[in-house]
Chain A
């Protein structure tokens, strides 16, 4: 079979894409047309469901599953960054230039667009030895709405998908970071937000270095 693949690049030049005769292509439709469009929450729930079960195949650990969900979210973050900035009024169309602006952009713009409301909180790590860590808090992540995690998988948080999206936005803005989702809601009776999730954003050392340097200047 391998000989079928080889000639593709060399022998035959790709002929380019075909388009419908009515010219109905993505280039002919305004990029904003789907901005305020809605679909049913159930459609999302079912797609996400399949994404999670596909990602659960042949995994070795919960971390493995979360990693896969993160990877699936990442390209969405990259695209959303461009899309959301494009939709900003011209004067605020610049990409975030420091950590705080970036995190506010995620907490407000990204959240508002994807989930219909801003995230519930944004905090800096209180541990002075971890100045590179920030937390975005969502009391009830939309992606977890229908998920009931069994006890034997209690560390699992499927919002790892959203963590991937955040990571994509950070990477796309040239603030490389690792983002992970952690459940912090207590399961006890009467707890206000049992699904409360913290997205821990840990920026790469070079980001901190640049931030410090710019801060001094």
Chain B
């Protein structure tokens, strides 16, 4: 079943966004932008008093760089949700996804604390396996094993190489 994929974000163990890419714009009313939606969702989780992380302190300041701000918001949110899920459900429990009227965010985390967040249309089925495939077939093969890519990807260095980009784009477009 084809699915509309909006965007993908990858965060490293240092919590930095080391890759992001957008495929299609969410079909949203002009007034409703992504960050505000995420923030709404985030406030709901705050209600449980479990999401006590830096994400709380995200300021509503004017945007210098929308992409980077989105990434920060998303990280803060998924990190809080993941911590909350573990706290309530035990260490083996995992936060998998959440959905709003506009989109669904799918989350996947490796034991090395590499975190993937994929935004799709709200009706999409689980994308966990898709994210797992991106990790083992694209990330490990083309970023991790590439001798010309550094070991750590500060500022996203080494992630945007041709083989990874082409492979990812082909894989995602194949889903749509």
Contacts and interface: CB of A to CB of B under 8 A. Distances in A.
Judged by CB atoms under 8 Å, the answer to whether A and B touch is yes
Interface of A: 42, 45-46, 48-53, 146-150, 153, 158
Contacts of B149: 148
What is the predominant secondary structure among interface residues of chain B facing chain A? loop
A53 B161 CA distance: 17
What is the predominant secondary structure among interface residues of chain A facing chain B? helix
A73 B29 CA distance: 61
Contacts of B111: none
A118 B175 CA distance: 38
Contacts of A150: 148, 161-162
B18 to A, nearest CB: 16
A150 B157 CA distance: 11
Given A148-B161, A148-B162, A148-B164, A52 B148 contact: yes
A52 B145 contact: no
B94 interface: no
B2 interface: no
Interface in B122-158: 141-142, 145-150
18 contacts: A45-B145, A45-B147, A46-B145, A48-B147, A49-B145, A51-B147, A53-B147, A146-B141, A146-B142, A146-B145, A146-B146, A146-B147, A147-B147, A148-B146, A148-B161, A148-B164, A149-B148, A150-B148
Contacts of A147: 146-148
A42 B148 contact: no
Interface in B27-62: none
Top 10 nearest A-B pairs by Cβ distance?
A49-B147, A146-B145, A148-B161, A52-B147, A148-B163, A45-B145, A148-B162, A146-B146, A148-B146, A147-B147
Contacts of A51: 147
A214 B128 CA distance: 68
B155 to A, nearest CB: 15
A159 to B, nearest CB: 12
A157 to B, nearest CB: 12
Contacts of B146: 49, 146-148
A42 B148 CA distance: 15
B141 to A, nearest CB: 7
Given A45-B147, A51-B147, 12 more contacts: A48-B147, A52-B147, A53-B150, A146-B146, A146-B147, A148-B142, A148-B146, A148-B149, A149-B148, A150-B148, A153-B148, A158-B147
